Amino acid sequence: MTTTILAVDDSTSVLKMVESALRFKGYAVVAAADGVEALEALERDLFDLVVLDINMPRMDGLSLLKTVRERPEWASLPILMLTTEGQEADRDRALAMGATDYMVKPFKPTLLLERVAALLS
Amino acid sequence: MNEADDLDALLLAQMREDFLAESQEILDRLGPLLVQLEQEPDAGLLNTIFREVHTLKGTAGFAGFESVRLLAHKLEDVFGALRDEQLAVTPELMDTVFAGVQSLTSMREDVLRGGTGEMDIEPLVARLEAALRGEVLAPAPSPASQAEQGAIPPPASQAEPGAAPVPSAVESTLRVGLETLDTMMELVGELITARNALLTIAERLQDEPLTSTASAISRLTRELQTTVTGIRLVPVERLFNRFPGVVRNMARQRGKQVRLVIEGGDTPLDRAISEQMYDPLVHLLRNAVDHGLEPTVDRRRAGKPEESTIRLSAERRGDDVILRIADDGGGIDPERVRRVAVERGLYSAEEATALSDEQAIHLIFTSGFSTAATVTDVSGRGVGLDVVKQNVHRLRGSVSIETAIGQGTTFVIKLPLTLAILQVQLVRVGGYTYALPLHVVRETLQIAPDAIQTMQQGEVLFVRDVALPVRRLSDFGIRNSGFGTSPQSEIRNGIVVRRAGRDEVLVVDELVGKQQVVIKPLSPYLGTVRGVEGSAVLPDGSVTLILDVEGVLTN
């Protein structure tokens, strides 16, 4: 079965880059521009992993993370947070709230692929 | 290079392309947000601004534009501190923030032109860091240079492939080059010409199946034209959103309190027109801030609110878009304009007195004319409103003024929705057919043989009791060939055109009808011919010249 990944970022260029990289590796990708869209996608489809940005309009990454972890069916869904320099406090909160791993932007796309592969194994 | 490096290089190259589009959108949104912030700081607004700058920082980091990333990072810190109430919004801080956004814009434009996007941002970064340490900022070192930067012309459209309308759903959009769109538009133009010919033939042959097929093709062509035109349209908001920051800087320099109100931002306008309207609008806004709005003391004395309002609005009207720049300033005094016109030697005292108020007011569009008492940093750069008029004219638009003393001035700019297709009035003069752009035609008239009277200043025709100057199209020559000679005959037709605030009657032999035509530039070896805007193919296959009325009459 194809591995399906939900990628969430409000930056269109970052989202597109993450999407292209994951598709290159043969993953199916659903893209969402904010937490609200991501939640809708989660309700609709089954995902193997979520790549999640923190700072987003409408519903940010931390709120989505909280919502996801409160739902038993998503309790063990791997979530890879994307953080940026200067967001160390948010990163620590994310890890405390149940994020599986994090990456600091900017990163090389192939490093993201390595991290994703490790989380899926 | 191994495979991973290749993949990284490929994806990051794509990322750099996307950075250009995304950063423009972010910078476009930031201007109005910052102006709003200065007027009424609010936590939600600060959050939004923080997020926009944060996204810009992240994107620039990926794309490898270090100066953009660093400056965005410092700005993000400042907005974070403002949000957490560790800093307060002061005019001096906002000057530095606006300067920062201007630098980001300049760096982005450098990248667009193929540069590295690197710039010396050290002084700005130092100021932002000082602000973050809680130091009180001295007034910005050179506000004039900031306003200068605020007026950087937009980059040329062809160099900007990344800024297509924002795709809302990733899967259902496709990015198409602008050249392809231009080609499509040309093809639609050819199709319209062929359709017009087909309709003419069908009418002549009176064959039922042919007529119904021709009318079906006609309808489909119209739909196709609407669709293709629609692709080229962008909301005028993208243009308007660049102005709040510009106006804010101008107002601060002139020590005036100005509120810029933007209305009708969702009005669609041809992308190319939209881009070329940036300079003229900056000029009119600058003119409004500098000359239109009275000094604060005068406003207080006149019992007006100290804060002035400039209203920038857009409205679609049929195949036209109307832009208005309205200020609530002192209005234009025609007496004063007359006086200046005499002082500048443009008119004699008698001639100036003879001008109607409306004509006098339109003199401000004359080259070299300025009623400002002093040359100022903001608008005294020797570029007059004549340039605005020329720019708008080149886009086949028109500018007019509505003004009332004490109440304010409104510049009304009428622009076509799109450039390639033109509505024309066809006329015959001396056996030749010419096309006049319909936007210059105010009305058409029948003229009885003895209706034209000769008065002291030349021939006039009374239209609803008003004497309008008469010009005969047959009198104006293009090159040496002339327009042909009209027989001295019976009933003529007249077209009322409006130039420089007054109506004139243009006499022609015959009105042929209205037609939608596709503009073709004249063959390059004819060069530009004064009075001729281009040519068009008519339904019967003949070629007609499209006249530039202003050019013809000033010949």
B187 in a domain, yes or no?
yes
Residue B211 to residue B217: CA distance in whole angstroms = 10
Phi, psi of B160 (to 5 degrees): -125, 65
B192 and B272 part of one domain: no
> Is there a contact between B12 and A105 if contact means CB atoms under 8 Å apart?
no
B219 and B286 part of one domain: no
B301 in a domain, yes or no?
yes
Residue A112's closest chain B neighbor by CA? B8
pTM above 0.90, yes or no: no
pLDDT, residue A49, reads 96
Question: Which own/partner contact pairs does A73-76 have at CB distance under 8 Å and 24+ positions apart?
Answer: A74/A42
pLDDT, residue B523, reads 65
Tokens found for residue B283:
């000029």
Query: Which single residue is written with the structure tokens 């948010």?
Result: A90
> Is there a contact between A84 and B57 if contact means CB atoms under 8 Å apart?
yes
Q: What's the CATH number where B199 sits?
A: 1.10.287
Q: Are B16 and B9 in contact (CB under 8 A)?
A: no
Q: Last residue of some domain: B93, B114, B140?
A: B140
B262 and B304 part of one domain: yes
Which among A57, A85, A109 has CB closest to B8? Answer: A109
B222 and B245 part of one domain: no
Residues B410-424: pLDDT tens digits?
999 999 887 777 889
Mutate to test the interface with A, among B28, B62, B171 (most CBs of A within 10 A): B62
Residue B101 to residue B109: CA distance in whole angstroms = 12
Residue B22 to residue B162: CA distance in whole angstroms = 9
Q: Last residue of some domain: B359, B393, B416?
A: B416
**Where residue A46 falls among pLDDT bands split at 50, 70, 90?**
very high
B412 and B426 part of one domain: no
Which among B14, B50, B61 has CB closest to A106? Answer: B61
> Is there a contact between B7 and A110 if contact means CB atoms under 8 Å apart?
yes
> Is there a contact between B11 and A56 if contact means CB atoms under 8 Å apart?
no
Is residue A116 over pLDDT 90? Answer: yes
B448 and B540 part of one domain: yes
* Alpha-helix residue ranges (DSSP H) falling in A1-121: 12-24, 35-44, 61-70, 88-96, 109-120
Residue B130 to residue B137: CA distance in whole angstroms = 7
How far is the alpha carbon of A91 from chain B, nearest alpha carbon, in Å?
15
Tokens found for residue B434:
């010419």
- Structurally, how many domains does chain B consist of? 4
Q: What H or E segment, with its residue span, contains residue B502?
A: strand B502-508
B406 and B469 part of one domain: no
- Please give the order of strands across the beta sheet that includes A79-84: A28-32, A4-8, A49-53, A79-84, A101-105
Q: How many CB atoms lie within 10 A of CB A17?
A: 25
Residues of chain B with pLDDT under 70: 1, 139-173, 368, 370-383, 476-491, 501, 521, 523-528, 555
Residue A64 to residue A54: CA distance in whole angstroms = 9
Q: Using CB atoms and an 8 Å cut-off, which of residues 14-33 of chain B contact chain A? A: 14-15, 18-19, 21-22
Which among A14, A20, A56 has CB closest to B59? Answer: A14
B135 and B13 part of one domain: yes
Q: Are B405 and B333 in contact (CB under 8 A)?
A: yes
Residue B322 to residue B316: CA distance in whole angstroms = 6
B392 and B449 part of one domain: no
Q: What's the CATH number where B425 sits?
A: 2.30.30.40
B187 and B259 part of one domain: no
Q: Considering just the CA atoms, what is the radius of gyration of chain B in Å?
A: 27
CB pairs under 8 A between A and B: 73
Q: Which domain holds residue B217?
A: 177-234
B384 and B463 part of one domain: no
Q: Last residue of some domain: B90, B121, B140?
A: B140
> Is there a contact between B59 and A84 if contact means CB atoms under 8 Å apart?
no
Q: Are B254 and B378 in contact (CB under 8 A)?
A: yes
Residue A117 to residue A21: CA distance in whole angstroms = 12
> Is there a contact between A24 and B7 if contact means CB atoms under 8 Å apart?
yes
Q: Name the amino acid, one letter, at B482.
A: G
Coil, strand or helix at A71 = coil
Residue B247 to residue B305: CA distance in whole angstroms = 18
| B12 interaction partners in chain A (CB closer than 8 Å) | 17, 108-109
- Listed in order, strand segments (DSSP E) in B33-132 are none
**Upper half-sphere CA count for residue B444 (Cβ side, 13 Å):** 16
> Is there a contact between A57 and B73 if contact means CB atoms under 8 Å apart?
no
Q: Is B129 on the interface with A (CB under 8 A)?
A: no
Closest to B240 measured CA to CA, from B324, B157, B141: B324
Question: Which of A103 and B549 is assigned the larger pLDDT?
Answer: A103
Residue B71 to residue B52: CA distance in whole angstroms = 13
Over residues A60-81, mean pLDDT? 93
Closest to B163 measured CA to CA, from B204, B108, B214: B108
pLDDT, residue B383, reads 54
How far is the alpha carbon of B30 from chain A, nearest alpha carbon, in Å?
15
B352 and B205 part of one domain: no
How far is the alpha carbon of A16 from chain B, nearest alpha carbon, in Å?
8
B151 in a domain, yes or no?
no
Q: What's the CATH number where B296 sits?
A: 3.30.565.10
B264 in a domain, yes or no?
yes
pLDDT, residue B374, reads 42
Q: Are B75 and B49 in contact (CB under 8 A)?
A: no
How far is the alpha carbon of B233 from chain A, nearest alpha carbon, in Å?
22
B487 in a domain, yes or no?
yes
- Please give the order of strands across the beta sheet that includes B543-547: B510-518, B421-429, B432-437, B543-547, B532-537
Residues in CB range of B480: below 8 A, 6 or more apart:
none
